[in-house]
Amino acid sequence: QSALTQEASVSGAVGQKVTLSCNGNSNNIGSYTVGWYQQISHGAPKTVMFGDYLPPGIPDRFSGSQSGTTASLTISGLHPEDEADYYCSTWDYSLSAWVFGGGTKLTVV
């Protein structure tokens, strides 16, 4: 059972806006920046967002936010190549460990 909770699956049409959520508690999301990681077809993870910072090379249709013990990743205007598994992660000071969510499978229809 993951310390962070994500939707198992989300789907959206090309061009649609979707929001993925990541729920934690005061020991993790409530205290630390959340990172978001994209994994396409079980390849190597790729960082797409942390906090509200967009890494170089990541399209600006990706955006991130955090409020309280919840973090969100929004993709505004889905592209077919956005279809992937997305994981959230942050530090948990009560566990002294990095924790990941179980991942959300995003399907672009």
Partner 1 sequence: VQLVESGGGLIQPGGSLRLSCAASGLAVSRNYMSWVRQAAGKGLEWVSVLNSADKIYYADSVKGRFTISRDNSKNTLYLQMNNVRAEDTAIYYCASLVNGVAFDYWGQGTPVTVSS
Residues that bind partner 1 (CB under 8 A): 2, 32-35, 37, 39, 42, 44-47, 50-51, 55, 85, 87, 89-91, 96-103
Nearest distance, CB of residue 87 and partner 1, angstroms = 5
- Output Rg (C-alpha) for the chain, integer angstroms: 13
By beta-carbon proximity to partner 1, the closer residue of 14 and 53 is 53
By beta-carbon proximity to partner 1, the closer residue of 16 and 53 is 53
Asked if 50 and 35 count as a contact pair (C-beta separation under 8 A), the reply is yes
CA angle, residues 27, 85, 52, in degrees to nearest 5: 50
Nearest distance, CB of residue 77 and partner 1, angstroms = 24
Whose CA is closest to 70, among 30, 27, 32, 18? 30
